[in-house]
Amino acid sequence: MPDLSRRRALTAAAALAGATALAVPAARASDPTHDHGASHGSHDSPAAFDEIYKGRRIQGRPSSGGGHHHGAGYTVSVDGVELHVMRNADGTWISVVSHYDPVSTPRAAARAAVDELQGARLLPFPASPAN
């Protein structure tokens, strides 16, 4: 999705979510203070979030050290299924469905995943030949 239309989609979703009291900020460009990411060092974890984005529940929260895989320290899910996310050294984030395209926060990574999934369900990782 072109950056402009993604930003428009995020803004629209923010308006929707605001109406359901799962308050979210507008697109990250217009609210640099809400999400924590690129501007923070790698030792503090972004805040938790919980919202409905494009009809799907996305959640994120700091996870206790170690985790079950390379100590990501932060867990994201889409409709309750964990989305594998990773923080880059510069504080940006990627997920397994958008692995070459860093965004500034885990919430942005969750939204990018919802955009990418186009309604498809996420499979629990690690990916393996599904039967």
Partner 1 sequence: MTVRKNQASLTADEKRRFVAAVLELKGSGRYDDFVTTHNAFILGDTDDGERTGHRSPSFLPWHRRFLLEFERALQSVDASVALPYWDWSTDRSPRSSLWAPDFLGGTGRSRDGQVMDGPFAASAGKWPVNVRVDGRTYLRRSLGTNVRELPTRAEVDSVLAMATYDMAPWNSASDGFRNHLEGWRGVNLHNRVHVWVGGQMATGVSPNDPVFWLHHAYIDRLWAEWQRRHPGSAYVPGGGTPNVVDLNETMKPWNDTTPAALLDHTPYYTFDA
Binding site for partner 1 (CB under 8 A): 1-2, 42, 69-71, 84, 86-90, 96-102, 116-118, 120-123, 125-130
**Which of 44/90 has CB closer to partner 1?**
90
**Which of 34/36 has CB closer to partner 1?**
36
Least separation in angstroms between CB 38 and partner 1: 12
Half-sphere exposure of 52 (CA within 13 A, CB side): 9
Q: 119 is written with which tokens?
A: 């309604």
Least separation in angstroms between CB 97 and partner 1: 5
CA–CA separation, 107 vs 104, rounded Å? 8
Least separation in angstroms between CB 93 and partner 1: 12
**Which of 3/21 has CB closer to partner 1?**
3
Least separation in angstroms between CB 66 and partner 1: 12
Name which of 125, 36, 111 is nearest 78 in CA terms. 111
**Which of 2/65 has CB closer to partner 1?**
2
Distance of CA 71 to the CA centre of its chain: 17
Half-sphere exposure of 69 (CA within 13 A, CB side): 9
CA torsion 64-80-87-33 (nearest 10°) is: -90
Q: 38 is written with which tokens?
A: 């690129």
